[in-house]
Chains A and B, each alone.
Chain A
Amino acid sequence: MNLIAQLPVLPIIIPIVAAPITLLLPKGRVPHLWACLFSWLTFAACIALFAEVSSTGPISYHLGDWAPPIGIEYYIDLANALVLLLVSGIAAVVFPYAYRSVQLEVDERQTPLFYGALLICMTGLLGVTITGDAFNVFVFLEISSLSGYALIAMGARRDRRALTAAFNYLVMGTIGATFFVIGLGLLYQATGTLNMADLADRLIGQDNRMVEAGFAFILVGMGLKLAMFPMHLWLPNAYTYAPSAVTAFMAATATKVAVYVIIRFIFSVFNFDFAFIGAAFTYVLLPLGLAGMFVASFVALFQEDVKRMLAYSSVAQIGYMLLGLSFATVEGLTATLVHIFNHALMKGALFMAVGCVVLRAGSHSIYAFAGLSKRMPVTTWAFLISGLSLIGVPLTVGFISKWYLLQAAFEAGHWYAGFLIVASSLIALAYVGRVAEVMLLREPAEDGKYAMPKEEAPLSMLIPMWVLVAANIYFGVRTDLTGGIAQRAAETLMSMAGGAP
């Protein structure tokens, strides 16, 4: 039993063992260092796993040596290896970033709880991604969600509205999870198995009401988790009132993992032989994706609160992902996978920049950003560069996403979609431009509520933030990493689902 053979389980084992121990540590610095260490170890394990998968192909790992379909199977191919890398990578930069931000925003007595919950949340997300067992997805989803509710509620020290936001999210998230598990139940009723690969085999030819209803419940349940328009209403408040580090982490990972689950179910469990898959693409994902792109962007345009603006922008960006998915082509799926990765980079960096402003100005209102370039130039530029990335300016990852998406739209013959993608990017230009104008051209407030010292955020926050900003540019230039991997992953998924290659 060597370590390499056990590699697939390490990304789960490492944090899940570390998390409870965090609770026992004394409050203050120690839990943070502990959690940091283990987030990095997890990241290292994920890198190793990714390298392994990309060189040797998909890995199937049997937990406790119980062979599937009886035992739980971890199944890792390129698609989820990429998402694993993303989740653990974002965690690896958010954990170091969190310390100063959490010091301000979270009660000190809660620090062991906070870092413990954040580790558990990460474990849950990694688990959802890595597992090849449908019920296991539900279990890990609940692990990540429950810790997520707690994390959001911890923002209550600064703003009591965090409590209602967390409560709403709790109710909605539970409805989503319940729908999901109802869907699984129906599928289990139809097939008698919960292993994804086994499900896929036994579902063949089973085009009956039970399977159809099961699909509907799974799609809507996951749609709620990923904040598909119009089920996004829990998201803006949750992201706005959560502590900055939590927002940065969840915005970059949680919804992405839910998108991944939808992809996994559509392509690896169901397949294109089911007529409802095509119908769901055409009548659900495509129109809702487009609606989300515009409605949420317009809402973002008028927000007075930068964090809230970015939250709505996330809903819009999820619209892009659903749009790419709905084309049901390799190009479309590639675009979605690329955008999952890229959007995490830009939103992570943007929310981190907001966190830096909150640290110094004590507010994430747009008025707190007035003249920021004179007070916090390093943070300002991080925000600007990631903002450009969000718009889709060349040399940033945002451009790569838009490019793949446009290609996919043209390929699928959806001309109008190509036009709408560009149009909604222009709205993004407007809402990012609004903040940029305030940051660069307005004079900073000299006194009153939003006055702030001329002091940059501490290095412990700046360095992780700039790592993400640099990633925005690096992956904007080196596209073979994201684009190439995503394309290979998309081809594999597509061949699983029996669609045109």
Chain B
Amino acid sequence: MTAFFEALLANPAVILTVGAFVIFFLPRHLACAWCLLVTAFSAIKLYTLGLGEYGALHVFGEQLTTVRVDPLSRIFAVVFHIAIVLNVIYAWGQRDKAQNFAMLAYPAACLGGVLAGDLITLFFWWEMAAITSVFLVWAPGTRVTYLAGMRYLAIQILSGVLLLGGVALTYRETGSFAFDMMGLRDADGAVKISALVMFLAFGIKSAFPLLHNWVQDAYPKSTLTGAIILSIFTTKLAVYSLARAFPGTNELIYIGVVMTLFPIFFALIENDLRKVLCYSINNQVGFMVCAIGLGTINGAAGYAFGNIIFEGLLFMALGAAMHRTGTSKATELGGLYKTMPVTMALCIVGALSISAFPGTLGFVTKGLIIDGAGEAHLFWVWLGLLFASAGVLEHAGIKIPYFTFFAHDSGQRPKDAPLPMMIAMGIAAALCLGLGIYPDPLYALLPDQAAIADYHPYTAYHLIEQLQLLLWAVLAFAILILVKWYPAEVPSTNLDTDWFYRVPGRALMSWAAGASRATWIALWGIFSGRVQALMARVYSVHGPEGEMARSWPIGFMALWTAILLALVLVISFIA
């Protein structure tokens, strides 16, 4: 038993989880300070552990490794800690115990998953992440969020069930629970069922195309702080898992490219800016998935690191605007720069970073991926990623700050963001710029040091390529503004008429988005109708008045016994 507790105490995720439960017993005003303290403990634990495997447990007669710190899990663990600290500071003074609990327990679960050295541990934290995060979706406490939370939970649990199935199958095949590189195909090139099931489980959590709807469904319905936390962890845990188990899997390249492209169309016509950012999560994770497919794990891990910071910064800036104005609709925001200049400036830093302007965190991390595609001589993939990068600039880099702080003047004159929010955003922005100019500490954390040794972000080629892309995109935007093709009253989609996709045009995009939405609604309608009919039928048979649940007279029970006896006799005789 002592070995068991030692194994638990070696785990930073357990420290955070226990800390999360303590919140229920603390006075409300101490919760945030406590969160910081616990996070500090956890970070120190992580630091003192150093690289290696810890927390060995004997279960099922198998050796489990509950904590594995290697270069790949370390970079995720580090950035998760940074993210927790940012979130806690941002949410300083938050009184809701359930949210404060989830603010610590949910990242803890994802951290546990990242540190898991075996599949059983991974499954445990995988499900913990699902269960703890749903409190954030439920936090606003309305019926809409309750239902959204249930849908979210169902999908997350489905992913967990698939994972468990994959674990069981893998165990059958290999006799081991080790969580290592598995690959989608065996030596003969045939698809392994076990790996495929697990691939799907990871795919749901990382929101592969067509498996992505839960992100837009659940995240924007959460609270201000809830949405920020949600946006960070689940998908990154999935990215980590993919990077661990399926590096260099060709299918991921194409899945990733589709992931980077399709959300752009949705994002451009979306009016709710929080939803725009949710699409942006899909798009950003797409870059990471693509990088995993290309085998540039550095790119995936590095970009995940960067993305957590700058995507978080955008969410926080938008959240601050929402906090002051109560809305995140593009049509209702605008002109806030006059009274929220600091938030505006910080938001722009995030926007520059996500668009990968030189001198920002985005530039030094995204280059790793684009370079990987170029070196792999996959022209179409490279082009797709470039195109997607320009799309990022339009929908996240320009749309978010422009419609929030500029565009038409909404007439609102709110105060600038409160101090804690300002501090959190300030730290994030400082990281964006600091690591953008001096990326060496980040590069030192990357998993594949051999590959990074002769990589230099600020070469002439990289700079020219990126600046060309960005300048053309900005130019297109500027011209649109100047010639006033850009009615501020309908600030939804004109941004997409830039030099990249002038041909398909807005109509096609609206049509595509509308059609897929309609298909989805129709399919869902059929599905839920069927389920309701089925449940009604099940109820009529199994409900309290149904045949299956009635108290039958003795004669009937005896009759059943006789029937069964006859059946067994016949079976025995003819066997």
Interface set of A (CB-CB < 8 Å, partner B) = 168, 171-172, 175-176, 179, 209, 212-213, 215-217, 219-220, 223-224, 230-231, 233-234, 236-237, 275-276, 278-280, 283-284, 295-296, 298-299, 301-304, 312, 393-395, 403, 406-407, 410-411, 418, 422, 477-480, 483-484
Contacts and interface: CB of A to CB of B under 8 A. Distances in A.
A231 B568 contact: no
Interface of B: 1, 4, 58-61, 120, 123-124, 127, 161, 164-165, 168-169, 171-172, 538-539, 541-544, 546, 548-549, 551-552, 554, 556-558, 560-561, 564-565, 567-569, 571-575
A7 B164 CA distance: 44
A422 B575 CA distance: 31
B567 A410 contact: no
A302 B60 contact: no
28 contacts: A168-B557, A171-B558, A172-B558, A172-B561, A175-B558, A179-B565, A209-B573, A212-B572, A212-B575, A213-B569, A219-B568, A220-B568, A224-B561, A230-B560, A233-B551, A234-B557, A280-B575, A284-B567, A284-B568, A295-B542, A295-B548, A299-B542, A301-B542, A303-B544, A394-B123, A395-B124, A403-B168, A422-B165
A304 B549 CA distance: 11
Contacts of A234: 557
A237 B551 contact: yes
A484 B61 contact: yes
Contact of B575 (A236, A279, A483): A279
B557 A283 contact: no
Contacts of A477: 4, 59
A172 B4 CA distance: 48
Contacts of A212: 569, 572-573, 575
Given A394-B123, A483-B60, A410 B544 contact: no
Nearest to B158: A426
Contacts of A480: 58, 61
A407 B169 CA distance: 9
B560 A216 contact: no
Contact of B127 (A171, A237, A394): A394
A217 B61 contact: no
Contacts of A176: 561
A396 B262 CA distance: 42
A276 B565 CA distance: 14
B546 A299 contact: yes
B573 A394 contact: no
A279 B544 contact: no
A375 to B, nearest CB: 18
B168 A406 contact: yes
B59 A422 contact: no
A311 to B, nearest CB: 11
Of listed A231, A302, A393, A418, residue having the most chain B CB within 10 A: A302
B232 to A, nearest CB: 24
Contacts of B549: 236, 299, 302-303, 312
Contacts of B548: 295-296, 298-299
Nearest to A419: B165
A341 to B, nearest CB: 16
Contact of A483 (B61, B168, B169, B564): B61
A406 B565 CA distance: 30
Top 4 A-B residue pairs of the complex, sorted by shortest distance between their CB atoms:
A279-B575, A276-B572, A298-B542, A212-B572
Given A171-B558, A480-B61, A410 B169 contact: yes
A276 to B, nearest CB: 4
B551 A276 contact: no
A213 B572 contact: yes
Nearest to A207: B575
B172 to A, nearest CB: 5
A236 B87 CA distance: 51
Contacts of A168: 554, 557
Contacts of A295: 542, 548
A304 B544 contact: yes
B571 A284 contact: yes
B64 to A, nearest CB: 11
A325 to B, nearest CB: 15
Contacts of A278: 575
Contacts of B546: 299, 302
A230 B564 contact: yes
Contacts of A298: 538, 541-542, 548
B290 to A, nearest CB: 32
Nearest to B545: A302
A200 B541 CA distance: 44
Given A216-B568, A275-B575, A233 B544 contact: no
B562 to A, nearest CB: 9
A498 B556 CA distance: 39
Given A216-B565, A302-B542, A394-B123, 17 more contacts: A175-B558, A212-B572, A220-B561, A231-B564, A283-B571, A284-B568, A296-B548, A299-B549, A301-B542, A312-B549, A393-B127, A411-B172, A418-B165, A477-B4, A477-B59, A478-B1, A480-B58
Contacts of B4: 477
A153 to B, nearest CB: 16
Contacts of B575: 212, 275-276, 278-280
A236 B552 CA distance: 11
B567 A418 contact: no
B153 to A, nearest CB: 10
Given A298-B542, A410-B169, A418-B168, A233 B573 contact: no
B168 A410 contact: yes
Nearest to A223: B564
B42 to A, nearest CB: 21
Contacts of B574: 279
A65 B472 CA distance: 101
Given A213-B569, A219-B568, A295-B548, A231 B161 contact: no
Nearest to A284: B568
Nearest to A476: B59
A395 B548 CA distance: 33
A168 B564 CA distance: 19
A168 B560 CA distance: 14
A321 to B, nearest CB: 17
B61 A233 contact: no
Nearest to B4: A477
Nearest to A171: B554
A394 B59 CA distance: 12
A303 B544 CA distance: 6
A216 B572 contact: yes
B267 to A, nearest CB: 35
Contacts of A407: 168, 171-172
A296 B546 CA distance: 12
Given A298-B542, A480-B58, A231 B557 contact: yes
A479 B572 CA distance: 37
Of listed A280, A299, A407, residue having the most chain B CB within 10 A: A299
Contacts of A230: 560, 564
B219 to A, nearest CB: 23
A220 B564 contact: yes
A278 B127 CA distance: 39
A215 B572 contact: yes
Contacts of A299: 542, 546, 548-549
Nearest to B557: A233
Contact of A233 (B542, B556, B571): B556
Contact of A216 (B542, B556, B569): B569
A279 B572 contact: yes
A416 B4 CA distance: 35
Contacts of B171: 407
